[in-house]
A and B are shown apart, each in its own frame.
Chain A
Amino acid sequence: MASVKIEDLTFTYPNAASPALENISLEVGEGEFMLVIGPSGCGKSTLLRHMKSVLTPHGERKGRVLVSGRELDSIPQREQTADIGFVFQHPDDQIVTDKVWHELAFALESLGAEQGRMRLKVAEMAGYFGLEKVFYNEVSELSGGQKQLLNLASVMTLSPRILVLDEPTSQLDPIAAFDFLTTVKKLNTELGITVILSEHRLEEAMPFADRVTVMESGRITVCDAPRRAAEILYRSGSKMYYAMPAAAKLSLELGLDETALTVNEGRRLLLSMGLPKRRLPDKPAKARAAEPVLSAKEVYFRYEKDSPDVLKAASVELRPGEIMGLVGGNGAGKSTLLSVLCGERAPYRGRVCAEGKRMKGRFSAFDAHIGLLDQDPRTLFSSDTVREELEKAASHRENAGERIDDVVRLMDIGGLMDRNPFDLSGGEQQRTAIAIILLTRPKVLLMDEPTKGMDAGVKRALGHRLTALANEGIAILLVTHDTEFCAEYADSVGLMFDGGVIARAETREFFSRNTFYTTAANRIAGEVFENAILIDEVTEAVRGTNRE
Chain B
Amino acid sequence: MHRDAFYSVHPAVNMAFFIFVMLITCLVLHPVIVGISLVSACAYTVVLKGRKALVFDLCLVLPFIIIVALMNPLFNHEGVTVLFYLWNGNAVTKEAVLYGLVSACMFAALIMWFYCLNSVMTADKYVYLFGRAIPTLSLVFSMVLRFVPRIFKRISLVSRAQRSIAPPMGKSAVKAARHGMSVLSVTVTWALESAVNISDSMRSRGYGLKGRTSFSIFRFEKRDAVMGSLLLLAFALSVWAVAAKRIYFRFYPSIKTVPADALCVIGFIAFALLCLAPVLVNLKENILWRLLKSKI
Contacts and interface: CB of A to CB of B under 8 A. Distances in A.
- Direct A–B contact in the complex, CB atoms closer than 8 angstroms: yes
Interface of A: 52, 54-55, 77-78, 81-82, 86, 88, 90, 92-99, 101-102, 105-115, 118-119, 122, 136, 138-140, 151, 154-155, 158, 339, 342, 344, 364-367, 370-372, 374, 376, 378-382, 393, 396, 422, 436-437, 439-440
Given A88-B197, A371-B165, 18 more contacts: A52-B204, A55-B204, A77-B209, A78-B206, A86-B201, A88-B200, A92-B194, A96-B202, A97-B142, A97-B143, A98-B145, A112-B210, A118-B213, A364-B168, A366-B165, A376-B157, A378-B186, A422-B189
Given A374-B157, A422-B189, A342 B203 contact: no
B164 interface: yes
Given A81-B209, A99-B124, A140-B146, A93 B197 contact: yes
B49 interface: no
Interface of B: 123-124, 127, 139, 142-143, 145-146, 149-150, 154, 157-158, 160-168, 182, 185-186, 189-190, 193-194, 197-198, 200-217
Nearest to A111: B206
Nearest to A367: B168
Contact of B201 (A96, A344, A374): A96
Given A98-B142, A380-B165, A382-B186, A55 B203 contact: yes
A369 B54 CA distance: 51
A349 B203 CA distance: 51
Contact of A106 (B161, B182, B193, B205): B205
21 contacts: A52-B204, A55-B203, A78-B209, A81-B209, A94-B197, A95-B201, A97-B139, A98-B145, A98-B146, A99-B142, A106-B207, A111-B209, A112-B209, A113-B213, A118-B215, A365-B163, A371-B164, A378-B190, A379-B186, A380-B161, A393-B165
A122 B216 CA distance: 11
Contacts of A54: 200, 203-204
Residue among A77, A81, A109, A158 facing the most chain B CB atoms (10 A cut-off): A109
Given A96-B146, A122-B215, A344-B160, A110 B200 contact: no
A393 B164 CA distance: 11
Contacts of A380: 161-162, 165
B253 to A, nearest CB: 55
Contacts of A78: 206, 209
The B contact surface, by secondary structure, is: helix
A489 B213 CA distance: 53
Residue among A81, A102, A364 facing the most chain B CB atoms (10 A cut-off): A102
A366 B215 contact: no
Contacts of B216: 115
A225 to B, nearest CB: 30
B131 to A, nearest CB: 9
A441 to B, nearest CB: 11
A111 B146 CA distance: 22
Contact of A110 (B149, B168, B205, B217): B205
Contacts of A365: 163-164
A344 B198 CA distance: 31
Contacts of A366: 163-168
Contacts of A122: 215
Contacts of B145: 98
Contacts of B165: 366, 371, 380, 393, 396, 436-437, 439-440
A113 B166 CA distance: 54
Given A372-B164, A380-B161, A97 B146 contact: yes
A86 B165 CA distance: 39
B205 A81 contact: yes
B206 A364 contact: no
B161 A374 contact: yes
A90 B186 contact: no
B8 to A, nearest CB: 12
A138 B193 CA distance: 22
Contact of A140 (B150, B189, B203): B150
Given A93-B194, A93-B201, A110 B163 contact: no
B3 to A, nearest CB: 16
Contacts of A55: 200, 203-204
Contact of B205 (A154, A367, A371): A154
Contacts of B203: 54-55
Given A88-B200, A366-B164, A77 B206 contact: yes
Contact of B193 (A136, A154, A422): A422
B92 to A, nearest CB: 50
A79 B200 CA distance: 17
